[in-house]
Chain A
């Protein structure tokens, strides 16, 4: 089972560059989310989606865009990378039934120089 797959695993960008972090899940989960984890911090929600065509902002959405054109994919776009976006990014998915846990990918470690 692939579960939640994130690519790339590592990326270094220069300030001002743009890029897309990919996330795909093969569990037919309706819910998908993006989190970032910074040193000494828990995971913070960036954006989430409850189904194809529906997205919404989380706690820290500024500087990021998302779209959900299919159930399987939920890419995260950095429009103009800033050093403050250096972080580890995790994608998660869960089924749309009561009390279903979120399943996480292994993360993308992103450094902005």
Chain B
């Protein structure tokens, strides 16, 4: 049972246009969501995150939107650049509220979307 779903294995966008990557989740206990970018032969690189108390977080060209009622989040990249071509992973975590350190059980990842920016 996949708790974090990225239904588009690949997405092709023209340079300068908006890229929209989507992610759905099923576990209502998820409280913190992240997007990672991954180039071949490298580890995932943190891009942007959002806590469930917000519905939008912006960082430069990257904006993440969260719709808790629909259990859906999206990553917008505007404008898209050739260097944005990579695999993008959506990830989710149950927020660690315990001072004892319990509950930090790692991230649950989607399968990724390969974004291709066309010149």
Contact = CB atoms under 8 A, between A and B. Distances in A.
B101 A96 contact: yes
Given A43-B89, A104-B43, A33 B34 contact: no
Contacts, number: 73
| Chain B contact residues, majority secondary structure | loop
Contacts of B51: 99
B107 A45 contact: yes
A106 B43 contact: yes
Interface in A58-80: 58-59
Interface residues of B, number: 29
Interface of A: 4, 30-31, 33, 35, 40-45, 48, 50-51, 54, 56, 58-59, 90, 92, 96, 98-99, 101-107
Given A48-B106, A98-B96, A101-B34, 9 more contacts: A31-B104, A33-B107, A41-B111, A42-B89, A43-B91, A45-B108, A90-B44, A104-B36, A106-B42
